[in-house]
């Protein structure tokens, strides 16, 4: 089994989230794991942002079958008012490819570290249709804050990527076609 990752390369659709520094959320602030000055955040319930993902870094002919796609992100809850216990925030993560959108995956963030969120493995991009290279190229990831957001508090996301596990294509050689002694 081989693996590669896909990083965000743009934003599409509704974008309510903010950058570190106050501008509208930008994909360049969630493409690495430097969370101190590189993150996006949201304070409003139902605030959403949708990232487009870069094309796969592996050539299509190098992939035999794509077994599943796992969306992973790191999220940080910051209790800026010092209230205790910390407020629970709920983040919905949804992946889409083309016109098909998979059901969202809900993640509850309650602490002040950057826990690794691992989304559910998705073997199919459309009901029973296995992932294809083209559907991976159309991958989008939507984040939506669905619970929480007391005044002056927010949810941070510092890193988001799609991890793709696949079976590598087997290179054919003359022995494959003509026998081992060729």
Q: pLDDT digit string (tens) for 99-132?
A: 777 778 888 776 666 778 888 888 888 877 888 8
Q: Residue 36's domain spans which residues?
A: 2-178
Better pLDDT: 117 or 6: 6
Q: Cβ(83)–Cβ(162) under 8 Å?
A: no
Query: How many Cβ atoms are within 10 Å of 173's Cβ, its own excluded?
Result: 9
Query: Can you give the pLDDT at residue 26?
Result: 86
Q: How many domains does the chain have?
A: 1
Determine the average pLDDT of the residues in 160-165: 91
Does residue 170 carry a pLDDT above 80?
yes
Query: What is the C-alpha separation between 112 and 37, in angstroms, rounded?
Result: 16
Determine the average pLDDT of the residues in 148-156: 70
Q: If we measure between CA atoms, which residue out of 149, 155, 141, 147 comes closest to residue 104?
A: 141
The confidence band for 177, taking pLDDT boundaries of 50, 70 and 90, is low
53-86 tens-digit pLDDT: 999 999 999 999 888 888 887 777 665 555 566 6
20-31 tens-digit pLDDT: 777 888 898 888
6: helix, strand or coil: strand
Tell me, what CATH number does 8's domain have? 2.60.120.260
Query: Can you give the pLDDT at residue 93?
Result: 82
């Amino acid at each position: 089994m081989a693996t590669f990752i896909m990083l965000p390369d743009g934003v599409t659709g509704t974008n309510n989230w903010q950058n570190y520094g106050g501008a509208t959320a930008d994909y360049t602030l969630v493409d690495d794991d430097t969370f101190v000055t590189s993150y996006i955040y949201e304070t409003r319930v139902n605030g959403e942002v949708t990232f487009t993902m870069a094309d796969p870094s592996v050539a299509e002919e190098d992939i035999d079958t794509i077994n599943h796609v796992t969306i992973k992100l790191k999220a940080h809850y910051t209790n800026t008012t010092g209230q205790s216990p910390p407020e629970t925030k709920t983040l919905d993560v949804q992946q889409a490819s083309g016109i098909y959108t998979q059901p969202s995956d809900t993640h509850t963030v309650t602490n002040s570290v950057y826990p690794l969120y691992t989304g559910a493995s998705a073997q199919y991009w459309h009901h029973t249709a296995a992932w294809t290279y083209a559907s991976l190229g159309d991958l989008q990831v939507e984040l939506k804050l669905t619970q929480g957001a007391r005044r002056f508090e927010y949810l941070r996301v510092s890193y988001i990527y799609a991890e793709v596990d696949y079976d590598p294509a087997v290179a054919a050689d003359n022995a494959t076609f003509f026998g081992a002694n060729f």
